[in-house]
Amino acid sequence: MKLNERGLLIVLSGPSGVGKGTVRKALFDMEGHDLVYSISMTTRPPRGDEVDGEDYYFVSKEEFERRIREDGFLEWAEFVGNYYGTPKDKVEAQLKQGKEVVLEIEVQGALQVREKTNDGVFVFIAPPSKEALYRRLLRRGTESNETIQKRMDKAEREFPIAHKYDYIVVNDEVTNAADRVLAIIRAEHAKTERSIHKYKELLGVDFSE
């Protein structure tokens, strides 16, 4: 791992139910040693076997609002009646240590990060079709029909925002999608602006021409 080199901020985003979490987990299985996941904070109650401090930091509304006032979030959003946010200090410290930090967040939050930082890589995870998204939300079986409908309506409003991202990855099949995200991360590392100084050191080349 690089010393004194800022890590890459990778923002995986897209509509709820699209499978961002599953793609992220598959990505970590492929390349976990170089990536760290930024655990979000939420006021939503835990679902099923979710664990505090692993899946989310589950906090009260009061606690979340206190952190908003203290400017403790890189971004935060209200999503279908609950707050979700990325604790700021941790992400910054990890990037400074040269770590690759992965955020898995909804669209409004991703747009906030886009406005604040100039070094993030923004990946929109899209469903193969609207029907597939609806089926996934239904299959999850953890929400009421009303909440599912709210999530679908929100997704309809989010699809057009995909053009503001650097990349779009269709989650047709989880390992394929994770493979594509990994390819994006590798390509980002090879970008001239990120790799030219190493090239300069290795070959002693002068780029003044």
Q: Give me 174's structure tokens.
A: 């989880």
Considering the complex, state which of residue 162 and residue 189 has its C-beta at the smaller distance from ligand 5GP. Answer: 162
Nearest approach, Cβ of 92 to ligand 5GP (angstroms)? 15
Yes or no: say if 36 and 100 are a contact pair by the CB < 8 Å rule: yes
Residue 117: Cβ within 10 Å count: 15
Task: Let me know the angle formed at the C-alpha of 109 by 125 and 130, rounded to the nearest 5 degrees.
Answer: 35
CB of 64 to ligand 5GP, least distance (A): 11
Would you tell me which residues interact with ligand 5GP (CB under 6 A)? 16, 20, 40, 44, 75, 77, 79, 84-86, 104-106, 109
- Give 197's contacts (C-beta < 8 A, 6+ positions apart): none
Residue written as token pair 């400074």: 96
- For ligand 5GP, the nearest residue by Cβ is 109
Q: Which is nearer to ligand 5GP, 5 or 89 (CB)?
A: 89
Report in angstroms how near the CB of residue 75 gets to ligand 5GP at its nearest: 6
- Least distance from ligand 5GP to the Cβ atom of residue 78, Å: 9
Nearest approach, Cβ of residue 192 and ligand 5GP (Å): 31
| Least distance (Å) between residue 37 CB and ligand 5GP | 11
Closer by beta carbon to ligand 5GP, 160 or else 204: 160
> Strand 100-105 and strand 35-37: pairing?
parallel
- Grouping H, G, I as helix, E, B as strand and the rest as coil, residue 197 is helix
C-beta of 82 vs 195, nearer to ligand 5GP: 82
Whose Cβ is closer to ligand 5GP: residue 5's or residue 147's?
147
DSSP string, 6-75: PPPEEEEE-STTS-HHHHHHHHHHHHGGGEEE---EESSPPPTT--BTTTBEE--HHHHHHHHHTT-EEE
Comparing CB distances to ligand 5GP, the nearer of 140 and 189 is 140
